[in-house]
Structure 1
Amino acid sequence: MGVEGGMKCVKFLLFLFNFIFWLCGLALTVIGIMVQIGIHKTLTIHDASASGGPIVIIGIGVVIFFVAFFGCCGAWKENYCMVTMFAILLFLIIVVEIAAVIVGYIYRDKLSNVVQDSLTEMISGYKNGTADFKKTLDKLQEDMKCCGGNSSSDWKNFGSDGNSVPDSCCVTPSANCGKGTMTVAAKVHQKGCHDALVAFLRKHLLWVIVAALIIAALQVLGIVFSCLLMRGIRSGYEVM
């Protein structure tokens, strides 16, 4: 009876774990989507590696969402094959998550160069860009309270006088406020957007890495519970 009671406990722990796991999959998917939207709303990035980490995280979250449901069914029905398959899938997910964390860490070091290249490209294409393109960069400068990539002087080719910046660079944005005021600190932000953007994106990437590591730790517990339940089912103990 002691073993049977222990197996009952494992069964319900595995079921509870899978419910939490299901919620984690949902959370991971949401975090991945938020990071992806944050990156591409903030910058026009053509470097595919910038999207690699968030897309992998979104994919893992979706897979976790369905695998957790599969695990719940296996635990509740005490089906040896389903529980075994769940443990195998969980192990494979952990491997992919570790790979995603490594990619995120490597990308973290590359972030500064990607941001610099993207800002340079956006600034050079601003004058001939579409209304939406200009709106994106204007919003970035207004929200971050910055101007240009490294400083307001990055806009030297913006106006014919070589001393004008977009109105979104102004401390208090208004029509034509950036005309002839590139180096006037009282009217135009002198700080570039590069450092603020790198800090913003690194913070989001850090949240993705932390979420992946926490969920991986929970998954290890899931594999342990699965193996215990598999052993109980295979030994022929009745688990109600």
Structure 2
Amino acid sequence: MTLEGGMKCVKYLLFFFNFIFWLCGLAMIVVGVLVQVSLHQTVRISDASASGAPILIIAVGVIIFFISFFGCCGAWKENYCMITLFSVLLSLVILVQIAAAITGYIFRNKVSDVVQDSLADMIKSYSNSSAEVKASVDGLQADLKCCGINGSSDWRNFKPDGNSVPDSCCVNMSADCGNGTMMDPAKVHQEGCRNALEALLKKNLLWVIIAALVLAFIEVMGVVFACVLMRGIRRGYEVM
């Protein structure tokens, strides 16, 4: 009876962890889509390599979403094959995540280059770009309270006088507030958007690490419970 009760506990714990796992997969899909949209609409990052991270998040989220299905069904129906498939697939996902984390650490410095190049393209094409692109640049500068790439002087070719910036650079935004005020710290933000954007990314990095650790814990527990339940089923113990 003790063993039977223990197997029941493992069965329901595996089902519970897979439900949480399913929610994590759904959350990763949503986060990946939001990041992808933000990179290519709000920040307008054109470097194709910048899409790697959000696409990877979406892909892992989709895989986790479907893997959790096998885990839930296998646990509820006590199906040895489904639980085995779930355990194998989940172990592969953990290995992929480890590889992705190592790759991300190796190429972590590339983020600065991507931000630099993307902001340079945005500023260079600002005057001749569409209203949507201008709105993206203005929104970025207004939200982060920054101006240019490394400073307001990056806008020196914005107008013929060489001393004007877009109104979104102004401390207090108003029509034509950026005319002739490029180097005036009382009227125009002097900090470049590169530093501000990188600071924002670093600020959010902690939450990404916490989420990754929580997900890894859930995955490992899922594999452990799956192996225990597989062992119980294989030995022929009845789990109801």
TM interval, short-chain normalised: over 0.9
| SS of aligned partner of 1:108 | coil
Deviations 1:192-229 (A, max 9, x none): 11101111123345433432232122111111111111
Would you say the 8 A contact 1:10–1:225 is kept in 2? Answer: yes
Map of 1:62 onto structure 2: 62
Superposition CA RMSD, Å:
1.6
What is the identity percentage for the equivalent residue pairs of Structure 1 and Structure 2? Answer: 66
Separation in structure 1 between the aligned mates of residue 50 and residue 16 of structure 2, nearest angstrom: 36
Letter in 2 for 1:82: M
Map of 1:90 onto structure 2: 90
Map of 1:136 onto structure 2: 136
TM-score normalised to the size of structure 2?
A: 0.94
Deviates more, 1:94-103 or 1:162-171: 94-103
Letter in 2 for 1:79: N
Separation in structure 2 between the aligned mates of residue 213 and residue 57 of structure 1, nearest angstrom: 15
Map of 1:30 onto structure 2: 30
Structure 1 segments, 4+ long, off by >4 Å, are none
Separation in structure 2 between the aligned mates of residue 107 and residue 143 of structure 1, nearest angstrom: 27
| SS of aligned partner of 2:171 | coil
> Where do residues 108-187 of structure 1 align in structure 2 (5 Å cutoff)?
108-187=108-187
Letter in 2 for 1:92: L
Greater relative contact order (CA < 8 Å, ≥ 6 in sequence): 1
| Count of aligned positions | 240
Would you say the 8 A contact 1:49–1:107 is kept in 2? Answer: no
Distance 1:12 1:228, change over 3 A: same
5+ residue gaps, structure 2, are none
Would you say the 8 A contact 1:108–1:202 is kept in 2? Answer: no
Would you say the 8 A contact 1:25–1:61 is kept in 2? Answer: yes
Map of 2:196 onto structure 1: 196
Letter in 2 for 1:18: N
Would you say the 8 A contact 2:40–2:46 is kept in 1? Answer: no
Separation in structure 2 between the aligned mates of residue 135 and residue 148 of structure 1, nearest angstrom: 14
